[in-house]
Amino acid sequence: MRPISARGDGIELRIGRQSALGPIEAWLTRIREFRGKIMYDNGRRPYFCDDVGRYIDAEEIDFGSWHISAHLGSDTRIAACVRLVPPELSSLFKSRRYLGPRWREETIAAMAPDNESIFEVGRLLLSGRVHDGELADTLLAAAIAVGRVFDAGLLVGVAFADSGWHRRTGWVEHPEADRYSSFYGETMRLVSRAPRGGTPEYERLVTDLQRRVEEILPEDSGLAVLRL
């Protein structure tokens, strides 16, 4: 699966992590604003816009997580983004929040009986000007690649049940754990994925991204750029 862009002239992935509370880095502010605009959804979720009209999606879980944004060609605007949350922030996982207190004891334990390192993928969002399933697939591949760098044993996520982003790239749905969220106005569905697997073509993409990501990831905080 070759990463593509709507313009046909390549993708730039920016992979960043801000590990500590404090002044927010400009790149993270831009991602939060982008997420807020998408989640606002033309006013359907008004709490993603503040009193002066600024879009915002600020969450505690952003600190210490890996954030990947996609930029098309020479366009500096964010076209899409995704977040990868490491095991040390599992108490803040969205999957824990929506599944309730039995999250680890039952649902996750059934998927990871040997207590593998669990990472959570979330906030996969595409700009309204981009209608590109392969761009979403590439972002997910990059998130899986980062998880593999840190020896992820299992990837989980919570998706809108009808979003479909997880179906093309080897994720397993768990509809038995569906929960309706009044905050989002959507039914939330747990999905999970082993760090390896999927079609041979997609596995090659993830493996290639893992090799390239290992060479550029900042050790703690910072921002790295990968051009595809």
The answer to whether the CB of 126 falls within 8 A of the CB of 135 is yes
- Alpha-carbon distance 183 to 45, whole Å? 8
Does the pLDDT of residue 39 top 90, yes or no? yes
More confident residue, 174 or 27: 27
Please, is 89 exposed, middle or buried when counting C-beta atoms within 10 Å of its C-beta (0-12, 13-18, 19+)? middle
% of the chain beyond a pLDDT of 90: 55
- Mean of the pLDDT values across residues 63-76? 92
Q: What pTM was computed for the model?
A: 0.91
pLDDT in tens, 117-157: 899 999 999 997 776 678 999 999 999 999 999 999 999 99
- Matching CATH number, 11-227, of 3.90.1150.10, 3.30.2020.30, 3.30.1360.20, 3.40.630.30: 3.40.630.30
User: Per-residue DSSP letters for the chain?
Assistant: -----TTSS-EEEEEEE--SSSSPPHHHHHHHHHHHHHHHTTTTSGGGB-TTS-B----GGGTTSEEEEEEETT--S--EEEEEE-GGGGGG-HHHHHH-TTIIIIIIHHH-TT---EEEEEEEEE-TT---HHHHHHHHHHHHHHHHHTT-SEEEEEEETTT-TTTTTTPEEEEEEEEEETTTTEEEEEEEE-SS-S-HHHHHHHHHHHHHHHTT--SSSEEEEEE-
Closest CA to 216 of 122, 145, 154: 145
pLDDT band at 9 (very low <50, low <70, confident <90, very high): low
Overall average pLDDT of the 10-19 stretch: 93
Distance of alpha carbon 128 from alpha carbon 131, whole angstroms: 7
Percent of the chain with pLDDT over 70: 89
CA 191 from centre of chain: 12
Other CB atoms closer than 10 Å to residue 15's CB: what's the count? 22
pLDDT band, very low/low/confident/very high, at 85 (cuts 50, 70, 90): very high
Considering Cα of 187, then 192, then 198, then 203, what sign does the dihedral take?
Answer: positive
Q: Give the pLDDT mean for 197-219.
A: 93
Q: Name the residue among 192, 210, 32 with its Cα closest to residue 123.
A: 32
Where residue 2 falls among pLDDT bands split at 50, 70, 90?
A: very low
